[in-house]
């Protein structure tokens, strides 16, 4: 049987152990679809994993993620790992961690919340529960029903 493989990247980021079915959401929240990419982006879905059973993987050449992007990924793929690749070697490997408070990443669903007005305030959400995820606005106490839909 012939096996197809994804080629290694020289420099960039590999987001591994993404919750199965969430790879396209990761691509979306990183803005790759809207802004386009100047380098290769590989999306692997439903890949066998000894640890998880199944996983998704996203490989992005010539790009390293900023901390806010990592926080976004932690909200939808809490077991993901971020591998920074330089000269074909893994230089840094981190497991994403969900922060206790999410700042400037989500929109409050309450249209009357102060974070949705012209005030110069960043949205702030407290992580109430990690599994299943539950976040609550610190300003109006509204819980977010759909984290992915309310991501900035």
Counting DSSP H helices and E strands in the chain, the numbers are 3, 8
Give the class (CATH, top level) of 12-95: alpha beta
Give the class (CATH, top level) of 101-150: mainly beta
Q: Where in the chain is the domain with CATH 3.30.70.140?
A: 12-95
Please state, rounded to an integer, the average pLDDT across all residues of the chain: 92
Count CA within 13 A, CB hemisphere, residue 81.
12
Within 8 A by CB and 6+ apart from 73, the residues are 15, 18, 26, 29, 65, 80, 82, 96
Residue-level pLDDT at 37: 64
Query: pLDDT tens-digit profile of 72-87?
Result: 999 999 999 999 999 9
Q: Where in the chain is the domain with CATH 2.30.30.20?
A: 101-150
Query: pLDDT tens-digit profile of 90-134?
Result: 999 999 999 999 999 999 999 999 999 988 999 999 999 998 999
Please tell me whether the overall predicted TM-score, pTM, comes out greater than 0.85 for this model.
Answer: yes
């Amino acid at each position: 049987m012939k096996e197809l493989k994804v080629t290694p990247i020289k420099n960039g980021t590999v987001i591994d152990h993404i919750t199965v079915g969430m790879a396209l959401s990761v691509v979306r929240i990183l803005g790759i679809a809207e802004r386009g990419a100047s380098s290769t982006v590989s999306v692997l879905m439903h890949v066998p994993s000894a640890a998880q059973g199944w996983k998704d993987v996203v490989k992005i050449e010539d790009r390293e993620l900023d901390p806010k992007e990592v926080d976004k990924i932690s909200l939808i793929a809490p077991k993901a790992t971020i591998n920074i690749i330089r000269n074909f070697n893994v230089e840094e490997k981190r497991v994403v961690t969900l922060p206790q408070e999410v700042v400037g990443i989500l929109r409050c669903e309450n249209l009357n919340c102060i974070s949705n007005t012209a005030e110069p305030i960043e949205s702030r959400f407290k992580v109430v529960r990690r599994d299943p995820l539950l976040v609550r606005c610190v300003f109006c106490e509204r819980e977010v029903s759909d984290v992915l839909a309310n991501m900035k």
